[in-house]
A = this chain, B = another copy of it.
Amino acid sequence: MPDVKHFDPDAVLEQVERLFWRRGAATTGISDVVAATGLSRSSLYATYGGKQDLYLKALRRYVERRSEPVFRALAEDGRGLPAIAAFFDRLIETRCAGEHARWGCMIANGHAEAATLEVRAVLDRHHDGLRAAMRAALAAARLRPGLDPDAAAEQLTLLAYGVNLRSRAGAEAAALRDGVRAALDSLTQRGETA
């Protein structure tokens, strides 16, 4: 190997991911990426390809490193409804406070931009992953009779997208928690005891 890269490709990709996550693909220029990473255009293009490739790689990294571990934890948590409640609690906290506050979800944001087929494939993979995790968590829950767990999994997944979107516009955490609580309470039939 005559020369070796002077940077860590995945660490750089994480910075790029954060940039696209916060500001979106269309409004983020290569100049911004250069400024944020400190890399030169040559290294950027040689390592990741053009802007579209870069965005796609960042999007895939987001799903693999950020979303899917959470999905796994949700699916493997055997507590049932409390696991789903914890998922939403943590989601709302992440979206409204801390380092990534008001960034929303990179996948939810990606839905709004004109998407190539490759991007849409990542979006679908994310959706399927979350729905499957919800479905698994619901399997461990005591639900009210007559409730279709597949439909409920879809419902909760759509709800998560709504939470992600609204958090970006500055929605209050309390309001988001109210909406989630109403959904979760309704999955059981012991609503009146609350």
Contact = CB atoms under 8 A, between A and B. Distances in A.
Interface stretch (A33-41, A65-73, A75-83, A154-162): A154-162
B115 A182 contact: no
Given A165-B112, A166-B111, A169-B115, A183 B185 contact: no
A147 interface: yes
Interface string A45-58: 00000000000000
A108 B112 contact: yes
Contact of A112 (B104, B123, B144): B104
A154 B162 CA distance: 10
Interface in A172-194: 175-176, 178-183, 185-187, 189, 191-194
A168 interface: yes
Interface string A7-38: 00000000000000001101100000000000
A144 B192 CA distance: 8
A40 to B, nearest CB: 26
Contacts of A191: 144-147
How big is chain A's contact interface, by range?
A: 35 or more
A159 B165 contact: no
A151 interface: yes
A64 interface: no
Nearest to A167: B111
A137 interface: no
A113 interface: yes
Interface of A: 23-24, 26-27, 104, 108-115, 120, 123-124, 127, 144-148, 150-152, 154-155, 157-163, 165-166, 168-171, 175-176, 178-183, 185-187, 189, 191-194
5 contacts: A108-B165, A111-B169, A146-B193, A151-B181, A158-B176
